Amino acid sequence: MQDLFKKAWERIKDSNHIVLASHINPDGDALGSSLSLYPILKEMGKKVTIFNATKPLPMYLDFLPNFDKVTDKLPKNYDLLVSFDSGSFDRLGIEEKPPFLINIDHHISNTKYGDINIIDSKAASTSQVVYNMLKANNVQIPASSAICIYTALVTDTGSFQYESVNDKVFEMAADLVRCGVKPDFVAKMLFQRDRLSRLRLLAKAYETIELTCDGKVAFVEVTKEMMEITGAIKDDTDTIVNSVRAIASVEVACMLREDDDGIKISLRSKNYADVSKVAIKYGGGGHVRAAGATIKDEFDFKKVKEMLKEDLCKIVKEGE
């Protein structure tokens, strides 16, 4: 990995116009990781574009430095694209392959679509891979970058709750605090700015909870009608599946959300079930404990649940 870190940074140093890109519908890790390099590269005298195809961006991350510089317009001429947290090229929302691509990620399902692929599936977040790359190249991390890396780490570890958290994660967090991060500020920005629309959506979604597989698998539904009635947006659905997983008997939680192109499924497991197996089967990907996919051109919740029940019960029984 150290050789890859060195090789990637040499390519970055040799480039003039660099695009920092993250996957569509970005989460904290995707956007935080891409934003973290912006001030560092600008200090190096590089021309930098922060790209994400999604519009609008999730507003709960609007406190991150340079959030307002993210654009959904890809420049015509650039010599390097660095992708963050995207398991496949098509998740970037870019049609043509760039001149050169550095792919930085921590998803085990990553398709290694880059010219340089820095994939560490043992990392707690993509931002940890970015942090390790900066450290390997003796790059000083300014406060404006540190807060992005730290926010990405917090969001992708569930506030340090997941099994990916170890001593290295806490050492990294401590170092980022020394770089200028204020953990209480990040916590307030992430967790104390809730929307009333999200709470109203939660109430309606919870009414649809269905347990199966002896109570070890839980389904929850979010329809377009629910979102229209409550005034909710897609960002408001992000934590629903996690809260359903918190039910005492549940090992796997599955949220089904009605989208324009089909039904999006979000999967979470608690202790042992590998939900990535199911996500991959339906054209998605992710991690062992958190994964997702979209069942395209299908809008029947009952039908999709029947499709998934056997798969989800199977991975629960496999892990017991």
Q: Which residues lie below 8 Å from residue 137, measured CB to CB, with a gap of 6+? A: 5, 6, 9
* Structure tokens belonging to residue 20: 């920092």
Residue type, 49: T
β-partners of residue 252 are: 217, 269
- What are the residue boundaries of the structural domains of the chain, listed by start? 2-191, 196-319
pLDDT tens column, 44-66: 999 999 999 999 999 999 999 99
CA–CA dist 137, 160 (Å, integer): 26
Residue 251 is predicted with a pLDDT of 97
Residue 298 is predicted with a pLDDT of 85
pLDDT tens column, 275-298: 999 999 999 888 888 899 999 988
CATH superfamily of 2-191: inorganic pyrophosphatase (n-terminal core) (3.90.1640.10)
**Span 196-319: which CATH code?**
3.10.310.30
Report phi then psi at 241, rounded to 5: -65, -35
Residue 320 is predicted with a pLDDT of 75
Q: What is the pTM of this model?
A: 0.87
Task: Please list the rounded mean pLDDT of every run of 10 residues in the chain (320 residues).
Answer: 96 98 95 98 98 94 98 95 95 94 93 97 97 98 98 96 94 98 98 94 97 97 96 90 96 96 95 93 88 90 94 91
Q: 3-state DSSP call for residue 119? A: strand
Closest C-alpha to 278, from 135, 269, 270: 269
CA–CA dist 141, 176 (Å, integer): 8
Pairing verdict, β 252-259 and 262-269: antiparallel
Q: What is the C-alpha R_g of the chain? A: 20
